Structure 1
Amino acid sequence: MKLTTTYVSSTMLTATVPAADIKTAGTASVTVFNKTPGGGTSNAKTFTIN
């Protein structure tokens, strides 16, 4: 899913994830996509949902 993000710094973005999207325990992965030129998709960061 695509989420709206807010740029905080060169190493941090914030996003609000709807509760319905994290209501089930498990794992989730996040990637960031930057447009061209020079953009692309970041490596995934996986986190645990309890």
Structure 2
Amino acid sequence: MLLLGLLLLTSALAGQRTGTRAESNLSSKLQLSSDKEQNGRNYTQHLDWHRKEEKEH
């Protein structure tokens, strides 16, 4: 009975670790996506600034 309890506890803890890793991986992917989106906006703003500068000269 004690052995069965230890086995169940070990399985539960291993499952939590896997879930945490998956959650962390998803979080990293979402952050990367957000960073790419921000970089795209920065690039567009940079191009707009250059176009404005060229028109003024």
Structure having the higher helix fraction is: 2
The TM-score bracket by the shorter chain reads under 0.3
Structure having the higher strand fraction is: 1
| Structure of greater Rg | 2
TM-score using structure 2 length = 0.17
Q: Which has the higher contact order (CA 8 A, sep 6+)?
A: 1
